[in-house]
Structure 1
Amino acid sequence: MEPMNWGEGDTSYAHNSGIQNAEQNRMKPMIEAAIIDLCTSTSTLFPTNMVIADLGCSSGPNALVLVSAAIEAIRSYCVQFQRQPPEVCIFLNDLPNNDFNMVVKSLSMLRKSNEPIVVASVTPGSFYERLFPTGSLHLVCSSSSLHWLSKAPEVLTRNHIPAYNIDEHARREMLPMIHDAYAQQFKNDFTHFLKLRAKEFLPGGRMVISITGRHSNGIDSKLFHIWEPIGHILSVMALEGVINKAKYDSFYIPMYGPSNEELRGIIQEEGSFSIKEMVVRGLTSDADSALFTPDRYMSQMRAVFEPVILKHFGEVMEEFMRTAERRWSLDGILRDQLDRLVWLSVSLTKASSSN
């Protein structure tokens, strides 16, 4: 995994994350409901402190959206029921090479502007490893992060099987096997993620997550990956000789979008959490259509994928943008790809029997 584009410039994630921000705003009711449950739990006294973590916070204005929603929900509850606000400890997590400079600046403003008392910190590291002490967390939030895998499927990388073949016939023949390899990697990673978080939660702890996924488990769905728009543009560049075909064949995006049935099955099989609520929304549903014009979408994809593309191919982003503009300006191509994507939002409660 690679971090998003740094800084506050025109190509930065901070400047090009409107799609992710729109989904964060749609998560707020789930976060508010989770806070009310934590405040009214009959199994514990009203908490004197709460520990809240955002996993995969990235940087820029989106880094504080989810934890700010949780703090505001705590404040509203305490005002309504005349409770003494708990002290709140906030942890913002992302990869060690994330742009934490911007995050720390935002955190300092959060601490100054909020009641209840807020103690805030950053926690560098992968969410596929232990991050917090046993039994310490009340609430975990995560948006637009958990579709990133710990690594590309080894069955593909070890056997030099391209994830996205530039030959259309070969690609369609191989896609079911490619899909299964990615699906298994996601199942392994997400199961591991749930086991790790279960150890870090207090009894009755809550988790609210939203990830990019696919509409269903149907045959057509299995011929599509959530990174299809990027793979398609790179395949055009390989066909035109802009990037080396051998380089292209060895390029893997460690990202997978499950269906809601698939995600539900993994959660239930792992057993540490029970599903309180699951919502499936089209990627473009109830969102500003301006976010999905070819120009705007290209800029947002660049902010997310430029680091991983540059690491593998070198300085090719300007040509990538020109190719994307040429392809995505054709009627229906980009819209067809976006219509296959969904947001999967899930509210979970730590099961009483889990460790």
Structure 2
Amino acid sequence: MASEQMVHMSQGQGETSYARNSSFQKAEQNRMKSLIEAVIADLCGSSSTLLHGKVVIADLGCSSGPNALALVSTAINAIHSQCLHLQQPPPEVCVLLNDLPDNDFNTVVKSLVTLRQSKDPVVLTGVIPGSFYERLFTSDSLHLVCASNSLQWLSKAPEDLTRNRIPAFDTDEHVRHERLPIVREAYAHQFREDFTLFLQLRAKELVSGGRMVISLVGTRSNVIASKFFLFPGIVAQILSVMVTEGVIDKEKFDSFYVPVHGPSGEEVREIIEEEGSFSIREMRVHDPTTEMNTALSTPRKFVNNLRALFEPIIVQHFGDIMDEFVRTAELHWSLDPDGSLQEERARTSRATLVVSLAKVS
């Protein structure tokens, strides 16, 4: 079962680190740019009385590496441009970056120092370690919250599966196919609980009229077009081969759950509307096929992307099996005897969901 402490990306600056293998996530952040700029135009508009000379921006799930400051930098640059256009002095800016305690905050802090030195309005920066499924900030203190490529990560594995010892991915294909609706529903239920809580918490922390821009990896519709959510499913396939080879124990494999759910746009919209704290200003659904194909285009890229995302979870659950995992993954990519990986890449309904929200006053 996953815990908060194990859900973090591979640290450092090495070949298999998240910092070196996050081009897909960078593309997602680029898709958020215009929505963040539109939010800043609203917040800093000539008729706005929301800021009172200061703006507090928080990025939740910032991770580390070159993407850690991308969203807040977009917001700061937009503040510069908007104030220049209106010929008014920029507000004081506070930038706060959040991720789980095991995140590589050493690299993040160095980046924040550089940000403060290069951006005149930034007068305060800080890191906030902790889960965004708990309170992080004081009430009515934030003006803008951003979260990119993080909300598909759940607070924990679905209890309906762990409590009843139902594997998320059975090595028997027939059993796996029969259980797929049960597994999918358990993950969807956990996502509903977590995302509802996330909205409730942020509603307390944002000022009246405050804004959020979020993106997450999801699916195009509620129809299950694929046998599994692509990347966690590929990891499970590789590990299942290692079970058949006797490298890892089947009982250990059956208790392995990746706490990730790719919701549909319909799921996200329904939860936001039911929770009621936010109105949806805009929702976009993007096709990430180009970036996904790039991430899987060679054995090295394929393995490095998997390791950047999942190595900490794999090692905590199974121990140091990464040499065998890499060997099996490379064979999985290069041989792919039944075409299953290529089939999933072609049939996946994976999508990037980008949503701009306003707190209901």
TM-score range with shorter-chain normalisation? over 0.9
Match of 1:343 in 2: 352
Whole-angstrom CA distance in 1 between matches of 2:343 and 2:47? 48
Q: How far did 1:275 drift?
A: 0.7
Q: How far did 1:323 drift?
A: 1.3
Ranges in structure 1 where 5+ consecutive residues have no aligned partner:
none
Whole-angstrom CA distance in 2 between matches of 1:195 and 1:181? 22
Question: Structure 1 41/210 Cα, relative in aligned 2: closer, same or farther at 3 Å?
Answer: farther
**Equivalent of 1:129 in 116, 131, 134:** 134
Q: How many residues align?
A: 350
Q: Contact between 1:228 and 1:337, CA under 8 Å: does it hold in 2?
A: no
Q: TM-score, normalised by structure 2?
A: 0.93
Match of 1:247 in 2: 252
Q: State the secondary structure of the residue aligned to 1:62.
A: coil
**Equivalent of 1:224 in 223, 228, 232:** 228
Q: How far did 1:83 drift?
A: 1.1
Match of 1:189 in 2: 194
Q: What are the Cα deviations for residues 309-347 of structure 1, in whole angstroms up to 9, with x where unaligned?
A: 000011111211221111122465434434521111111
Name the amino acid aligned to 2:314: I
Match of 1:266 in 2: 271
Question: Structure 1 308/46 Cα, relative in aligned 2: closer, same or farther at 3 Å?
Answer: closer
**Equivalent of 2:171 in 143, 166, 182:** 166
RMSD: 1.6
Whole-angstrom CA distance in 1 between matches of 2:51 and 2:303? 47
Kindly, what percent of the aligned residue pairs are identical? 59
**Equivalent of 2:95 in 90, 110, 115:** 90
Q: Contact between 1:40 and 1:46, CA under 8 Å: does it hold in 2?
A: no
Q: What are the Cα deviations for residues 15-59 of structure 1, in whole angstroms up to 9, with x where unaligned?
A: 111111121122111111111111127462564100000000011
Whole-angstrom CA distance in 1 between matches of 2:333 and 2:30? 27
Structure 1 runs (4+) deviating above 6 angstroms are none
- Comparing 176-185 with 236-245, which one deviates more in the overlay? 236-245
Q: State the secondary structure of the residue aligned to 1:279.
A: strand
2:181 maps to 1:176: yes
Q: What are the Cα deviations for residues 170-208 of structure 1, in whole angstroms up to 9, with x where unaligned?
A: 000011001101100000000000000000001111101
**Equivalent of 2:341 in 330, 334, 339:** 334
Q: State the secondary structure of the residue aligned to 2:9.
A: coil
Q: How far did 1:251 drift?
A: 0.4
Q: How far did 1:117 drift?
A: 3.0
Ranges in structure 2 where 5+ consecutive residues have no aligned partner:
none
**Equivalent of 1:112 in 110, 117, 129:** 117
Question: Structure 1 209/250 Cα, relative in aligned 2: closer, same or farther at 3 Å?
Answer: same
- Comparing 296-305 with 180-189, which one deviates more in the overlay? 296-305
Question: Structure 1 45/273 Cα, relative in aligned 2: closer, same or farther at 3 Å?
Answer: closer
2:55 maps to 1:50: yes
| 1:293-332 to 2 correspondences below 5 Å | 293-294=297-298, 295-330=300-335
**Equivalent of 1:23 in 18, 23, 28:** 28
Q: State the secondary structure of the residue aligned to 2:67.
A: helix
Name the amino acid aligned to 1:305: F
Q: What are the Cα deviations for residues 199-235 of structure 1, in whole angstroms up to 9, with x where unaligned?
A: 00011111011111112111435x4224211111111
Q: Contact between 1:283 and 1:338, CA under 8 Å: does it hold in 2?
A: no
